[in-house]
Amino acid sequence: LSSPTAYLASYLFTSVVIRRRSSAISFSLTAGLSGYLGKGFHFRIKTSPSLSLPSSSCRHHCRHPALHHPSRSSRSFVRAVSAAASLENTTMSPVRPGTIGFLGAGQMAEAMARGFVKAGLCKPEDITAYDPWDVRRQVFEEFGAKAVTTNGEVVRASETVFVSVKPNYVSTVLEETSGDLSPDQLIVSIAAGVPLEKIEAAACKSSKVPCVRVMPNTPCLVGAAACAYAAGKHASEANGKRVEELFGAIGVIRKVPENLLDAVTGLSGSGPAYVYLAIEAMADGGVAAGLPRDVALPLAAQTVMGAAKMVLETGQHPGALKDNVCSPGGTTIAGVRALEKNGMRSAFIEGVNAAADRAREMSRM
């Protein structure tokens, strides 16, 4: 409180109303004196789940004497407010809107963080990350993000918290930080094969924290991600829109039922690796046909990118686009025939399904 306000408050009859809302308490200080009736202040603090109030609708009037005796000094008034705001197990919430945290600072976390910054969704200083490896923390520091030394620091500083650790560490990390989580935050897990039920069981020990599962891929670094997400039982429509806002700025995202996320993992989550193999193989073919490698590789990569854009921007089926290129008795149909003879189509189908099956196995661990 400013000095003039505190001085005036010492001459006012003041009441404190405390409202319990989930893991937060709202303090409304209302001052009443002639023309100043209804003027007041509002405080909101984050509380520990161990702090118990009778119900979410109860009202508690502070009995501190300084609040009922106009003759007491402004200093007493301020002390009373401080006392009310420092109830047992309460702490001021440091979370700023739009802040993003990463529990785990691996390559996928880095790709997302850089992508969000590049898309203008946040500034580097809005990002906080923790990883047990010094080298990964240094990577985040190099582009202006804040690297900290504990998972708890990430959670306490972030509105949206990404769980980007290996699948077998998800429960451990969330259980460790669950006491710092609140319903005002959003947990986004990108761990393959870890179901929402398991994520929520670990994260929601203290409060009903909204949780969402996303399967991204590394092209988010260049604004070309292909992602899908499923929302948990505590996630609101606004939480879903936040996820769509983040990933929509760095690529494409679709909402799907959770039972389809393993298939998404097999297709787009692991898919970039399949395409890198195809680009490398095409470049090798170009080298075998006589092209220098520094010519063959960019031609192969650009061909893949151009073909993908044709599918996305024309809306035509890839089979129809393929037929348009295959002239009767021409070079393209000869190449397609050789690829079919060697099982290229089947190899891609089996690759996607093998990755999806592995994701399902991981969810049962």
Q: What is the pLDDT of residues 5-14, one digit of tens each?
A: 443 343 333 3
Query: Residue 123 corresponds to which tokens in the numbers above?
Result: 């500034």
SS (H, E, C) the chain: CCHHHHHHHCCCEEEEEEEEECCEEEEEEEEECHHHCCEEEEEEEEECCCCCCCCCCCCEECCCHHHCCCCCCHHHHHHHHHHHHCCCCEECCCCCCCCEEEECCCHHHHHHHHHHHHCCCCCHHHEEEECCCHHHHHHHHHCCCEECCCHHHHHHHCCEEEECCCHHHHHHHHHHHHHHCCCCCEEEECCCCCCHHHHHHHHCCCCCCCEEEEECCHHHHHCCEEEEEEECCCCCHHHHHHHHHHHHCCEEEEECCHHHHHHHHHHHHCHHHHHHHHHHHHHHHHHHCCCCHHHHHHHHHHHHHHHHHHHHHHCCCHHHHHHHHCCCCCHHHHHHHHHHHCCHHHHHHHHHHHHHHHHHHHHCC
- Which pLDDT score is estimated for 193? 87
Number of domains in the chain: 3
* Domain membership flag for residue 350: yes
Q: Alpha-carbon distance 107 to 152, whole Å? A: 21
Confidence of residue 20 (pLDDT cuts 50, 70, 90): very low
Q: Alpha-carbon distance 147 to 340, whole Å? A: 49
| Structural domain boundaries enclosing 305 | 271-363
143-159: per-residue pLDDT in tens? 999 999 999 999 999 99
- Which pLDDT score is estimated for 54? 39
Does residue 215 share a domain with residue 192?
yes
* Domain membership flag for residue 266: no
Domain limit, last residue, from 47, 65, 91: 91
Q: Alpha-carbon distance 262 to 320, whole Å? A: 29
- For Cα atoms 230, 233, 238, give the angle at the middle one, nearest 5 degrees: 70
Q: Is the pLDDT of residue 258 over 50?
A: yes
Q: Alpha-carbon distance 227 to 231, whole Å? A: 14
- Which pLDDT score is estimated for 66? 43
Domain limit, last residue, from 260, 295, 325: 260
pTM: 0.71
- Which pLDDT score is estimated for 362? 85
Q: What is the mean pLDDT of the chain?
A: 81
Nearest to 85 by CA among 21, 32, 42: 42
* Domain membership flag for residue 265: no
Does residue 285 share a domain with residue 139?
no
Does residue 111 share a domain with residue 175?
yes
- Which pLDDT score is estimated for 298? 98
Does residue 252 share a domain with residue 158?
yes
Check if the beta carbon of residue 258 is closer than 8 Å to that of residue 363. no
Q: Is the pLDDT of residue 4 over 60?
A: no
- Alpha-carbon Rg for the chain, nearest whole angstrom, is 28
Q: Alpha-carbon distance 132 to 150, whole Å? A: 9
Confidence of residue 25 (pLDDT cuts 50, 70, 90): very low
Does residue 58 share a domain with residue 133?
no
Q: Alpha-carbon distance 189 to 101, whole Å? A: 12
Arithmetic mean of pLDDT, 348-357 = 97
CATH at residue 232: 3.40.50.720
CATH at residue 324: 1.10.3730.10
Confidence of residue 205 (pLDDT cuts 50, 70, 90): confident
Does residue 255 share a domain with residue 108?
yes
**One-letter amino acid for residue 38 of the chain:** G
215-239: per-residue pLDDT in tens? 999 898 888 999 999 999 999 999 9
Q: Is the pLDDT of residue 30 over 50?
A: no
Does residue 233 share a domain with residue 130?
yes
Q: Alpha-carbon distance 175 to 202, whole Å? A: 5
Q: Alpha-carbon distance 200 to 233, whole Å? A: 9
Domain limit, last residue, from 260, 290, 318: 260
Does residue 74 share a domain with residue 190?
no
Percent of the chain's residues with pLDDT above 70: 74
Does residue 255 share a domain with residue 222?
yes
DSSP-assigned beta bridge partners for residue 358: none
Query: Residue 161 corresponds to which tokens in the numbers above?
Result: 């918290």
Does residue 114 share a domain with residue 85?
no
- Which pLDDT score is estimated for 75? 52
Arithmetic mean of pLDDT, 183-211 = 93
- Which pLDDT score is estimated for 26? 39
Does residue 124 share a domain with residue 49?
no
Does residue 235 share a domain with residue 179?
yes
